[in-house]
Amino acid sequence: MTERTLIKNLAASSDGPVTVSGWVDTVRDQKKVQFVVLRDESGALQLVHPRAEDADPIADTISALGTGSFITVTGDLKHDERVKLGGIEVLIGEIEVVSEALESPIAEDTGVDKRMDWRFLDLRVPRNNLIFRIQTTLEHAWRTYWVEHDFIEIHTPKLMASASESKAELFEVKYFDGKAYLAQSPQFFKQMAQPAGFGRVFEIGPAFRADPSFTSRHATEFVSVDSELSWIDSHEDVMRLHEELMVAGFTAVREKHGAEIEAAFGIEVTVPTTPFPRIPLAEAKRIVAERGYEVPRHDDDMDPEGERQIAAYVKEQFGHEFVFLTDYASSIRPFYHMRHEADAGITKSYDLIFNGVEISTGAQREHRIEVLEAQARDKGLDPEELAFYLDFFRYGVPPHGGFGMGLSRVLMLLLGLPNLREATYLFRGPTRLLP
């Protein structure tokens, strides 16, 4: 079999014989010459076939091609500055229709729900393909940062015997003669690595929330980006790690995909400066109120409009796309968040807001066993059900903290996408389990 050449590699190749394979994007079936735009996973290429005056099987094959059909072409590569598509073209010598395609059920203006039904076709669109190449670069940059800073990668189980945060958003599954729960986060297990002596850990893996939300930023299954580290003085150390990680990721994305992103999405990737602005939640609510918006008082959290307002303030005052909101109330934080010594109603925690949307929660963890047990009871949790977790803290554990961050949210906001579904390979929500 002749070796296939990716389209992206043709520009650097010499003129001469070449074999390419891909999907038919468009066909211009003219009287004297035929043009086919072929697209593979790396780019697009113009194929050319001058019609013969007598019998011409290649011309007949091209005339019958449907959009999306997969073909293999062997021919002569030619560099020509006049060719608008990359300055190269291939003169067709042989053509094989490997797989014919039906007419596509989706188009550029098709609604997102139907596009999700036909996601494998939707992902052929170069713009959508680019999203996941960017995702790859982002994850690789984060892993590189972690490894270079002596972090250990872990893979935690996704079947759990008890809740890791609260029972309100748990998926319960039958487990032999008993029951189990899908992990809401790797929280317990990445904390287990601290008394185990790992020191610094990270994981990129799935998490599950039984949240019946139909917003543009929620999913029932998502990729969680997590990190935990020992020997910290406060949540400030976690925030410092977090912002350095974001700088590393955005730098890599800008360097590798900056021009493509600007062309496809109209977005200029900005590498954030450090330190990121930090604003205590109470102060953030006051700032938002002065801007004319009152955050509802039914809980102690910042609502989505409040997040947008404080992000707008930070953009105006500091020219920054990120802001840490700190010192959240213990009433809305998990039992394992450490509380301030001077005010037990406030935790040593933060949310990271990016372009007006929360993408992450981080905190210093409580490592004192008696305090943990008391805080679990305050949250209505039974310490006996958490015995395996609480045992971590009975045998010596250093002060530690970490964060969990939604990968798709970061991509969505980085690229200015309208919703999380666009930035998720296969989206899962309350009404979607297919494809």
Give the CATH number, domain containing residue 277. 3.30.930.10
- DSSP structure string for 217-246: T--SEEEEEEEEEES-SSHHHHHHHHHHHH
**Quick one: which H or E segment has residue 361?**
strand 357-364
Are 44 and 146 contained in the same domain?
A: no
Are 287 and 351 contained in the same domain?
A: yes
Domain closes at, from 71, 99, 127: 99
**393 domain-assigned:** yes
**350 domain-assigned:** yes
Interatomic CA distance for residues 132 and 148, integer angstroms: 24
407 belongs to an annotated ligand binding site:
yes
Are 82 and 167 contained in the same domain?
A: no
Report CA dihedral (82, 86, 90, 95) to the nearest 10 degrees.
Answer: -130
Domain closes at, from 55, 73, 99: 99
What single-letter DSSP state applies at residue 418? S
**324 domain-assigned:** yes
Distances, alpha carbon 111 to alpha carbons 90, 105, 117, 424, in Å = 36, 11, 10, 16
Give the CATH number, domain containing residue 38. 2.40.50.140
209 belongs to an annotated ligand binding site:
yes
pLDDT attached to residue 169: 85
**428 domain-assigned:** no
pTM for the model: 0.94
Q: Count up the domains in the chain and report the number.
A: 2
Are 136 and 91 contained in the same domain?
A: no
Are 135 and 169 contained in the same domain?
A: yes
Could you tell me if residue 160 is left (phi over 0), alpha (psi between -120 and 50 degrees) or otherwise beta? beta
CA atoms within 13 A on the CB side of 240: 7
Assess contact for 22 and 39: CB atoms under 8 A: yes
227 belongs to an annotated ligand binding site:
no
Q: For residue 256, what are the domain limits?
A: 117-423
Radius of gyration of the chain (CA): 27
- DSSP structure string for 149-185: TT-EE----SEESS-SS-GGGPPEEEETTEEEEE-S-
| Closest to 245 in 3D by CA, of 154, 398, 338, 360 | 360
Are 131 and 91 contained in the same domain?
A: no
Task: Kindly give the pairing relationship between strand 357-364 and strand 400-406.
Answer: antiparallel
Are 31 and 73 contained in the same domain?
A: yes
409 belongs to an annotated ligand binding site:
yes
Interatomic CA distance for residues 115 and 120, integer angstroms: 9
**110 domain-assigned:** no
Are 71 and 181 contained in the same domain?
A: no
406 belongs to an annotated ligand binding site:
yes
365 belongs to an annotated ligand binding site:
yes
Are 68 and 158 contained in the same domain?
A: no
- Each of the 435 residues of the chain gets a pLDDT tens digit; together they read 568 999 999 999 999 999 999 999 999 999 999 999 999 999 999 999 999 989 999 999 999 999 999 999 999 999 999 999 999 999 999 999 999 999 999 998 999 999 999 999 999 999 999 999 999 999 999 999 999 999 999 999 999 987 666 667 899 999 999 999 999 999 999 999 999 999 999 999 999 999 998 888 999 999 999 999 999 999 999 999 999 999 999 999 999 999 999 999 999 999 999 999 999 999 999 999 999 999 987 668 999 999 999 999 999 999 999 999 999 999 999 999 999 999 999 999 999 999 999 999 999 999 999 999 999 999 998 899 889 999 999 999 999 999 999 999 999 999 999 999 999 999 999 999 999
pLDDT attached to residue 161: 86
CB atoms within 10 A of CB 377: 12
Are 121 and 257 contained in the same domain?
A: yes
Are 306 and 383 contained in the same domain?
A: yes
**253 domain-assigned:** yes
Domain closes at, from 65, 99, 133: 99
Are 211 and 326 contained in the same domain?
A: yes
Phi, psi of 365 (to 5 degrees): -90, 150
Whether the ω angle into residue 275 lies within 30 degrees of 0, i.e. cis, is: yes
75-83 CB contacts, 8 Å cutoff, 24+ apart: 75/17, 75/18, 75/47, 76/15, 76/16, 76/17, 76/18, 77/10, 77/13, 77/14, 77/15, 77/16, 77/17, 77/18, 78/15, 79/11, 79/15, 83/46
pLDDT attached to residue 165: 61
Three-state DSSP class for 78? strand
**104 domain-assigned:** no
**172 domain-assigned:** yes
